[in-house]
């Protein structure tokens, strides 16, 4: 069995692993990255990137269907070629994944393709056996970074077969538009993809076990998306649990329990989107003694160190907000730590985005969370996109920007945005919170006109009772 030696080995080349490996290479640490399936991970291949490509296509299709609202006539109805769209989406993915390979190689990182398993360490360091297409290889490393990501959760009786029961990967690969789809789970992935297919013409039903959709997001923002779902004809069932299903040949029949009563739904596809679980099995973590919590997540400190010297973990496998940009930051931090620099994962806020229509973006605390943390009196300002010149001029007036600040100190505590461009607007707010800004800082910063970003400035002005373009109350 061949043997290679490195100062650091990263297991997993997703949005946490490949940045960690690149940064290690930049810091002149001899590094290898091991990837069993997707260079770039789930995010680049079957998650973040392809989903946003399909969401963009659905939004364009929907806009073309309503172009006459602004005086643009289209002869006949727009048509949809799913196979051609899948080819275009694949091209986007290929460009990015090939770019990851180029960056890794350009920074001196060795790429090993195969499945990794830790073995008991020897006197010369940690040992990993990599099962490659050419047979097993042994890798010896001073440091190991676990960056193996996560996968969709299955619920009893709903085994994902990518035929009737599909996950997000299957939903992004459909080359025909189903007539009916039930989405089990009203979280961000389920709603993003459910709205895509609703725009393509699918009759979509969302089944959510909790009392409301997107339970971690600002409830006022979610209410705007709720209204849009109704307008699109999407049926939403909350406090509802999927119990079982039957394949009837020409359809699937789903049984749902709502408030103790059962109902059935006929459908063609069932999209299972009830969360994700960490990929920590079969890695040999038990062999080397890496500690996990009750849910299978690796325990790591602010330096991303596990309880075993020389073994670190980042990204979805350590839990928290399971977001690509969080994993990327952790990857950069862990590289700095391994290289001997003073570094830690120490952030005030991590922004989150739901790419529904309209988009929701959030950073910092909600009103409820702020009060729970002892901020008894708040200043809350909401500025509607319906009062914003830029939003009106692009015919995208749903939503608002909400700014939450401490009434006494003015400290900016949270910003929540629902509407067109929310994903691009939230970074200003994240920077402001990270820097310890007060609401006045947003209000006094001149924003260009006419832009969507003015809504952030205007919302801060509303919170302070100094708004110009809406009535102060």
Please state, in angstroms and as integers, the Cα–Cα distance from residue 341 to each residue in 8, 113, 338, following that order. Answer: 15, 29, 7
Q: What are phi and psi of 139, to 5 degrees?
A: -120, 130
**For residue 223, what are the contacts with CB-CB under 8 A and spacing of at least 6?**
none
Helix (H, G, I), strand (E, B) or coil at 20: helix
Please count the other Cβ atoms lying within 10 Å of the Cβ belonging to residue 169. Answer: 17
Q: What would the two tokens of residue 51 be?
A: 């989903």
Q: 2 in helix, strand or coil?
A: strand
- The H or E element containing residue 32 is strand 31-35
* Residue 389 half-sphere exposure toward CB, CA atoms < 13 A: 6
Residue spans of alpha helices (H) in 27-81: 41-46, 48-65
Angstrom distance (rounded) from CA 147 to CA 333? 13
Cis peptide leading into residue 338 (ω within 30°) = no
Residues β-bridged to residue 236:
206
Spatial separation of the C-alpha atoms in residues 422 and 443, rounded to whole Å: 18
Q: Indicate if 449 belongs to the active site.
A: yes
DSSP 313-347: E-GGGG-SS--HHHHHHHHHHHHHHHTT-------
What is the strand order of the sheet 235-237 is part of?
165-166, 269-272, 180-184, 203-207, 235-237
Which distant-in-sequence residues (6+ apart) come within 8 Å of 108 by Cβ? 25, 30, 31
d(CA 143, CA 341): 15
What gap in Å lies between CA 257 and CA 251, rounded to an integer? Answer: 20
* Residue of 66, 325, 416, 449 marked catalytic: 449
Spatial separation of the C-alpha atoms in residues 350 and 415, rounded to whole Å: 12
| DSSP string covering 406-469 | ETTT-BEEEEEEEETTHHHHHHHHHHHHHTT-BHHHHHHS---SS-TTHHHHHHHHHHTT--SS
Taking the CA atoms of the chain, what radius of gyration do you get in angstroms? 24
Report how far residue 198's alpha carbon sits from residue 180's, in angstroms, rounded to the nearest whole number.
9
Going from the C-alpha of 377 to that of each of 101, 108, 411, 426, the distances in angstroms are: 51, 53, 12, 24
What would the two tokens of residue 227 be? 């209204």
Active-site residues, by number, are 449
């Amino acid at each position: 069995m061949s043997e290679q030696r490195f100062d650091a080995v990263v297991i997993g080349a997703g949005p946490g692993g490949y940045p960690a490996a690149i940064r290690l290479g930049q810091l002149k640490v001899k590094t290898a990255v091991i990837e069993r399936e997707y260079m770039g991970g789930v995010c680049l291949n079957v998650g973040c990137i392809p989903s946003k490509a399909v969401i963009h296509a659905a939004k364009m299709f929907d806009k073309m269907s309503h172009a006459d609202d602004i005086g643009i006539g289209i002869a006949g109805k727009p048509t949809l070629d799913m196979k051609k769209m899948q080819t275009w989406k694949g091209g986007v993915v290929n460009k990015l994944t090939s770019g990851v390979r180029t960056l890794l190689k350009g920074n001196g990182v060795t790429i090993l393709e195969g499945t990794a398993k830790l073995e008991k360490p020897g006197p010369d360091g940690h040992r990993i056996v990599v099962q490659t297409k050419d047979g097993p290889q042994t890798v010896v490393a001073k440091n190991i970074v676990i960056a193996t990501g996560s996968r969709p959760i299955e619920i009893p009786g709903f085994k994902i077969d990518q035929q009737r029961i599909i996950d997000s990967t299957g939903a992004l690969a459909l080359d025909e538009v189903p007539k009916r789809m039930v989405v089990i789970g009203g979280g961000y992935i389920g709603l993003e993809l459910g709205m895509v297919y609703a725009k393509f013409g699918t009759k979509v039903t969302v089944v959510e076990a909790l009392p409301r959709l997107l339970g971690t997001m600002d409830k006022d923002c979610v209410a705007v998306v709720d209204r849009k779902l109704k307008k699109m004809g999407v049926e939403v069932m909350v406090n509802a649990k999927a119990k079982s299903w039957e394949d009837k040949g020409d359809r699937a029949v789903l049984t749902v329990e709502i408030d103790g009563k059962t109902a059935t739904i006929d459908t063609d596809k069932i999209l299972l989107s009830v969360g994700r679980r960490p990929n920590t099995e079969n890695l040999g973590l038990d062999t080397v003694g890496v500690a996990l919590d009750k849910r299978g997540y690796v325990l790591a400190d602010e330096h991303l160190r596990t309880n075993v010297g020389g073994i670190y973990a980042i990204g979805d496998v350590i839990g928290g907000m399971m977001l690509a940009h969080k994993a990327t930051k952790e990857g950069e931090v862990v590289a700095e730590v391994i290289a001997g620099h003073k570094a830690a994962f120490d952030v005030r806020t991590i922004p989150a985005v739901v790419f529904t229509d309209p988009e929701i973006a959030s950073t910092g605390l909600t009103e409820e969370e702020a009060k729970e943390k002892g901020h008894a009196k708040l200043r809350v300002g909401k500025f509607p996109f319906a009062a914003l010149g830029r939003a009106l001029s692009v015919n995208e007036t749903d939503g608002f920007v909400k700014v939450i600040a401490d009434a006494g100190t003015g400290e900016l505590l949270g910003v929540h945005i629902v509407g067109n461009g929310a994903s691009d607007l939230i970074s200003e707010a994240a920077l402001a919170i990270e820097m310890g800004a007060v609401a006045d800082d947003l209000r006094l910063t001149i924003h260009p006109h006419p832009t969507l970003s003015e809504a952030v400035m205007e919302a801060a002005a509303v919170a302070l009772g100094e708004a110009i373009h809406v009535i102060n109350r």
